[in-house]
């Protein structure tokens, strides 16, 4: 497979031009990852006229070196150092992983890597685990299809009820992920159905084949498993995590997994959540459940990622004292310190469910004796389903920079000792993510997982330079400016025409696409806005509401606890207020709702116009796909505007101060 076979994303062949033109020396290293580095450079040199030598003594413009001793000290397994002196650019790493990441860093720099002098600079990932969770089903699910919440075609891994025979595209996927810093992938849905359960045992060979395809790019394979596996697969009468036979079953099954996949990463578990089996059935805690699997994985260096998405999904909508937002904190904080060292709690970044606007989960920072991984959603379940442009880099950066303790306390990116995880947005679509511009989310996730303090705008620049390299020569400034114009503010635009001021949801039930203001209002899912004739919003204050605001550390509990201090963008998440309540912006709540719906539609119209003007600079197939998606985004945005505005006009009876048509 040549690198150009799957180049409808970042890393098209032209991205390697600067490397491929040089004389390169690959020195003092061996192993499969070093072989991958050599293959990448050799392929580039074959295209652009350069030359690569292994362990030679000749002069070189680029030296890629695996070394121990002082040169590699402190870099760790994945770090690398870059320097340029006397016309030679040198990448130094202590192992193959670091050398691979160093090569991709040089590719990102392009010709800049070979200009002037560059003092030694060291690069190492801030987070050891940078992981994608695929919600892919082996067998097509009758409701959720091949990929649950998938908006980019079928699965990369599975087709016709089995692992794909040709895994070339999986290898190419591993290459894309390594280039942005991702180092782990869970290959199946956290909602483990009957067929998928067998991947743990009699079908582990299929997982091993996928792991073989990903391994050359340093990607460790993980597997989602059902907590009830000892019953489903082992014919035991119980899955009680404290039962000796159950623990022995997990030990045996795990040993066989590692016989097939020596570098297996571990398990991902969704338990006692939305109907999935878990330890509650046996009167056990989540720590009991997680630790049983952790004990089986521990001898091999594996990890169990135990999701904290646990709440009552049979809630009585009449009961305002039950609050889904409280649930993860209430379930897990009493267990702090009880989880095994190789058990990681995987916490959604917000307390609800990947909405376009939520506060950071109070669970992050509240369990100092437990390893937490922060989970975000690259697949755009609630942010336009890859039919709308919605670049999430600014959202994720805002989350990762948030200080749960306030003041100068640690940031979320520093508290995520178990890593950063995203639900993948990739599939077998020719453009990988369905919407070509949604690739920016996948790339940005990897780069922010490597460095949570990175500037998302600079990361977006990287993605643009890599992805559009063959096309930029005609007018690079106009293309770059146009891409920034349609992407930079796209998250804010999407928020403007959908659910206002942090209240969330208001989507069509089930598939979650398009507006339905009361779609979940009288449902058991706990996703309410409580709009009535007098006001809107959920009272989560400690004084009169559910008390969720009080789950935050002192400074934030105070900020969120009063409508006078609560940020506008989260007001309706934390408070039920009258339509005439005046925001910090100076607008009333009702006028903000009207204005932002109209603003959002206007911004989509402008983005569509800008994209149309780039047709002469972008590959025709890519341009046509995005243009088609913009037509759908505009239609949907107009529908959101009209339904939300009409709903609140009828509820409140307050007309639009600007006299615009509201139906």
What residues are annotated to the active site? 274, 353, 381
3-state SS, residue 80: strand
| In contact, 52 and 60? CB cutoff 8 Å | no
Closest by Cα among 322, 321, 328 to 347: 328
Q: How far is the C-alpha of 588 from the C-alpha of 484, rounded, in Å?
A: 31
DSSP structure string for 378-423: -S-TTTTTTTS----HHHHHHHHH--TT-TTPPPHHHH-TTEEEEE
Q: Where are the alpha helices (DSSP H) in 544-618?
A: 554-561, 571-574, 589-612
**Cβ burial, residue 663 (10 Å; 0-12/13-18/19+):** exposed
Cα angle 29, 104, 16; round to 5 = 105
Start-to-end CA distance of the chain, whole Å, equals 56
Is 306 in a helix, a strand, or coil? strand
Name the residue among 383, 577, 399 with its Cα closest to residue 568.
577
Please answer whether residues 415 and 525 qualify as being in contact, where contact means their C-beta atoms are separated by less than 8 angstroms. no
- Cβ-in-10-Å burial (0-12, 13-18, 19+) of 143 comes to exposed
Residues β-bridged to residue 24:
52, 62
Which of 189, 219, 213 minimizes the C-alpha distance to 129? 219
User: How many residues make up the chain in this entry?
Assistant: 663
23-27 and 51-54 strand pairing: parallel
225 burial via Cβ count (<10 Å: 0-12, 13-18, 19+): buried
Which residue is it, tokens 């937490």?
372
Q: Please choose, from the candidates 132, 114, 238, 120, the residue with its C-alpha nearest in 3D space to the C-alpha of residue 177.
A: 132
Q: Are residues 521 and 301 in contact, defined by beta-carbon separation less than 8 angstroms?
A: no
Q: Is 588 left (phi over 0), alpha (psi -120 to 50) or beta?
A: beta
């Amino acid at each position: 497979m040549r690198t150009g076979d799957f180049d409808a994303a970042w890393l098209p062949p032209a991205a390697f031009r600067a490397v491929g033109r040089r004389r390169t020396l690959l020195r003092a290293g061996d192993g499969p990852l070093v072989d991958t580095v050599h293959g990448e450079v050799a392929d580039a040199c074959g295209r652009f006229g350069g030359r690569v030598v292994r362990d030679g003594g000749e002069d070189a413009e680029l030296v890629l070196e695996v070394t121990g001793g002082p040169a590699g000290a402190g870099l760790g397994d994945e770090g690398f150092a870059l320097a340029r002196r006397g016309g030679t650019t040198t990448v130094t790493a202590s192992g193959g992983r670091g050398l691979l990441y160093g090569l991709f860093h040089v590719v990102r720099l392009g010709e800049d890597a070979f200009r002037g002098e560059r003092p030694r600079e060291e690069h190492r990932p801030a987070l050891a685990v940078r992981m994608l969770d695929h919600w892919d089903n082996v067998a097509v699910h009758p409701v959720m299809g091949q990929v649950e919440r998938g908006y980019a075609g079928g699965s990369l891994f599975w087709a016709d009820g089995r692992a794909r025979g040709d895994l070339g595209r999986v290898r190419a996927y591993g290459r894309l992920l390594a280039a942005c810093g991702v180092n782990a992938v869970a290959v199946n849905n956290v909602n483990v159905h009957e067929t998928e359960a067998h991947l743990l045992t009699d079908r582990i060979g299929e997982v091993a084949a996928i792991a073989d395809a990903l391994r050359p790019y340093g990607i460790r394979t993980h597997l989602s498993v059902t907590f009830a596996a000892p019953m489903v697969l082992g014919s035991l009468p119980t899955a009680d995590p404290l039962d000796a036979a159950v623990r022995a079953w997990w030990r045996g099954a795990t040993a066989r997994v590692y016989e097939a996949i020596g570098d297996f990463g571990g398990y991902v578990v969704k338990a006692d959540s939305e109907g999935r089996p878990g330890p509650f059935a046996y009167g056990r805690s989540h720590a009991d459940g997680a630790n049983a699997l952790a004990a089986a994985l521990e001898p091999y260096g594996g990890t169990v990622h135990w999701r904290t998405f646990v709440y009552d999904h049979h809630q009585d909508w009449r009961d305002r004292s039950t609050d889904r937002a409280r649930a993860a904190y209430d379930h897990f904080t009493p267990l702090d310190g009880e989880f095994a060292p190789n058990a990681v709690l995987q916490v959604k970044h917000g307390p609800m469910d990947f909405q376009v606007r939520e506060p950071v989960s109070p669970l992050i920072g509240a369990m100092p004796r437990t390893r937490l991984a922060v989970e975000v959603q690259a697949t755009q379940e609630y942010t336009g389903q890859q039919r709308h442009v919605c670049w999430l880099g600014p959202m994720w950066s805002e989350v990762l920079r948030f200080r749960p303790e306030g003041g100068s306390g640690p940031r979320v990116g520093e508290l995520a000792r178990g890593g950063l995880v995203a639900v993948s947005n990739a599939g077998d679509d020719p453009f990988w993510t369905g919407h070509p511009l949604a690739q920016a989310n996948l790339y940005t996730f990897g780069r922010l997982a490597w460095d949570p303090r990175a500037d998302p705008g600079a990361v977006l620049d990287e993605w643009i330079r890599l992805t559009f390299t063959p096309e930029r020569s005609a007018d690079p400034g106009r293309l770059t400016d146009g891409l920034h114009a349609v992407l930079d503010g796209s998250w804010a635009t999407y928020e403007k025409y959908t659910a206002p001021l942090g209240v969330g949801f208001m989507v069509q039930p089930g598939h979650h696409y398009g507006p339905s203001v009361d779609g979940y209002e009288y449902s058991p899912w706990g996703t309410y806005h409580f709009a009535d004739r007098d006001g809107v919003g959920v009272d989560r204050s400690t004084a009169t509401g559910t008390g969720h605001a009080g789950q935050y550390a002192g400074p934030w509990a105070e900020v969120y606890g009063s409508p006078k201090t609560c940020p506008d963008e989260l007001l309706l998440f934390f408070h039920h207020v009258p339509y005439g309540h005046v925001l910090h912006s100076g607008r009333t709540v009702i006028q903000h709702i009207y204005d932002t719906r109209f603003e959002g539609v206007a911004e989509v119209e402008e983005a569509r116009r800008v994209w149309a003007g780039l047709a002469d600079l972008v590959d025709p197939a890519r341009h046509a796909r995005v243009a088609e998606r913009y037509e759908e985004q505009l239609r949907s945005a107009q529908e959101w505007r009209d339904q939300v505005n009409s709903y609140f006009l009828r509820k409140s009876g307050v007309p639009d101060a600007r006299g615009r048509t509201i139906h």
